[in-house]
Amino acid sequence: MKKLLPGLLAIIIISSCKNEFKPEPIIVNYPVTAKVDTVNTYFETEVKDPYRWLEDDRSPETEAWVKEQNKTTFGYLEKIPFRKDLKHRLEKLWNYEKLGSPRKRGNYTYFYKNDGLQNQYVVYRAKGDEKPEVFLDPNSFSDDGTTSLAGLTFTKDGSLAAYLISEGGSDWRKAIILNAETKEIMEDTLIDIKFSGISWKGNEGFYYSSYDKPKGSELSAKTDQHKVYYHKLGTPQKKDELIFGGTPIEKHRYIGANVTEDNKYLVISASVSTSGNKLFIRDLEDPNSLLFPIVEDTDSDNYVIDNVGSKLYIVTDRNAPNKKIVTVDAKNPKPEHWVDIIPETENVLSPNTGGGYIFTEYMVDAISKVFQYDYDGKLIREVKLPGIGSASGFGGEKEDLDFYFSFTNYNTPGSIYKYDPENGEYELYWKPEIDFNPENYTSEQLFYNSKDGTKIPMIITYKKGVKLNGKNPTILYAYGGFNVSLTPSFSIANAVWMEQGGIYAVPNLRGGGEYGKKWHDAGIKTKKQNVFDDFIAAAEYLIANKYTSKEYLAIRGGSNGGLLVGATMTQRPDLMQVALPAVGVMDMLRYHTFTAGAGWAYDYGTAEDTIEMFEYLKGYSPVHNVKAGTSYPATLVTTGDHDDRVVPAHSFKFAAELQEKQKGTNPTLIRIETNAGHGAGTPVSKTIEQYADIFGFTLFNMGHTELPNKSVLKDFKE
């Protein structure tokens, strides 16, 4: 491997903006990224892969490359004159108490709380009206806050608890079992758990899922045979019983196990991709019972939401793209015996249960509506929400006399409400005290036409009084995949952006779940271009209607949204000033060879499927569509060196291509967070630093030499 040397190419960044003078230029000397003669052949077509060596996350050469790239990137970011101002404002606004919805377990009510700038939320509990006490403090798990709490589950009686931890942002987990009353650790830590929750069987033990530890790098090597185990308390992990997934016929990429609330049934879901699952059930009260199939194909998504005795309540999109709830007897549970109890509607269903009722949340153009039903499917009432936005929660145990839900939108911080299911009344339980006035901001939902005429909804949020003159810094954020729905929610970082006169726009692209399975399927495989066209049309709408202009537009997205940004900026580099792809899937020919990436084939297809699929993927794969001599927008690629979901090699290779082929003055940098993963569990301190860098980079490359609104910094002293 060649030794990394400073590149000879100097990129001069000159800010052009409202200031009449030109600021001092920032000169970037990119490290030279070595090339190798690696070639893959797909259907007799040779494809060069010169940066293949960056896939080896354990090599000293890759480690050296990361250090050189970060040195270059942070050298640039440190010269942005208002970077520290942004960080200070983010810290100040972030510094307020945040609370999660309480849940009752045994004799205690548990809740998550962050005092303000704590790296991780702390779990508290209270008995009756007594003063809350700390139950778990993840900030004590590691000195730098990079070990996070990734799950917490109690037994039905609340006497035992098991919690999962993630180290450095990895998807690999460890499980620790506690006596919940005394908070004492009961036995040795379980290791090597992945893509799994914990589901207790009485007080005897619990079920969890994992893969065999891969050969090679545990952060990038392929994992595709998930297995469910049963851990009996008091026994070593090596004696855990393999329940499902160990044979060739049981081989699936994602398997989950859940025990019903009454501890009567074990339900197992098995999938080969992120869409569609088989469903199995076992009667835990019969020691001789075997797993029995409910659904034997992966043509639909199905899960058991609850049961009453042997009567199962199943949520399904089988012959119901927007989902419905059916009932069936567990002794004869095949789909031909299903009976609709809450039929499909024109809106997408997301149900929950609590207090002996079923609560159905529907997305109406990505906005929440909630209805309450009894277990016979009779409508009790519509729950009139506090406003227009997103509601979540409405869940608890059958015997709960009350429980909690939260409500938020793009310009309203989340508040918690206490709900009485018997009379439908609720009261404000907690509201954040934050240095941000929602009354000064507005959100509007509109619809625009995509390239093929499809109407796409978009919510645009900004400070009241903003003039539509084409000069507003604007972030266009989207996802567009995996049936994921983007619904209105408050973000502290976005509040800081809007304080500075920024506009935040979120379109609900095809490929998402906002309008059910049909909407999702309209953006997969050979229809993936629909997603990019929807995003491009959103940008064109914002520009045509003077919300912004090319010079003030940034596009942003993460994971599948990072792919969205990468594909859009390579197809239409003329459309935006700044591109911000985060932890993106950038190499569409090889994504399925890393970790559990093969499970994304429902959305993407793979290069091995057919020659048509190969050519389609190669036609938009960001890594393969960076063209020499093209002027790409100012680009800040972001990723984490411990990301084992979308491995950082995707971002590494994309950044290397951009740095080699960029024409003109726009910087193409990569910011690699060390000891960090795909995003979940990232310490608050790191998150604040990331946003200060992202917003600073964006505004600077839109021509700003100082913050547009400096009044929010009146109390800041260097």
Active site residues: 559, 678
Which residues have a Cβ under 8 Å from the Cβ of 97 and sit 6 or more positions away? 113, 114, 115, 116, 432, 433
List the structure tokens of 621.
Answer: 């794969």
* Identity of the residue numbered 99: L
Helices (H), 600-683: 601-604, 611-620, 649-661
Nearest to 98 by CA among 397, 490, 420, 400: 490
Helices (H), 11-156: 60-77, 83-94
CB 307 within 8 A of CB 313: yes
528-544 helix and 560-571 helix, angle to the nearest 10 degrees: 70
Q: Which residue has the tokens 């919690």?
A: 163
d(CA 445, CA 459): 4
d(CA 10, CA 647): 29
Specify the DSSP class assigned to residue 662.
Answer: B
Which residues have a Cβ under 8 Å from the Cβ of 117 and sit 6 or more positions away? 91, 94, 95, 684, 685
Which residues have a Cβ under 8 Å from the Cβ of 199 and sit 6 or more positions away? 153, 206, 207, 208, 257, 258, 259
Other beta carbons within 10 Å of 614:
20
Beta bridge pairs of residue 354:
357
Residue 690 CA, chain-centre distance (Å), reads: 16
List the structure tokens of 324.
Answer: 């419905």
d(CA 596, CA 283): 31
Nearest to 645 by CA among 197, 208, 219: 219
Other beta carbons within 10 Å of 466:
15
What is the Cα gyration radius of the chain? Answer: 26
CB 475 within 8 A of CB 485: no
Nearest to 393 by CA among 424, 425, 367, 370: 370
d(CA 404, CA 122): 19
CB 271 within 8 A of CB 253: yes
List the structure tokens of 12.
Answer: 């001069």
Residue 312 CA, chain-centre distance (Å), reads: 30
Q: Which phi and psi angles does 482 have, rounded to 5°?
A: 55, 25
Cα–Cα distance list, 408 to 224, 367, 387 (Å): 37, 11, 8
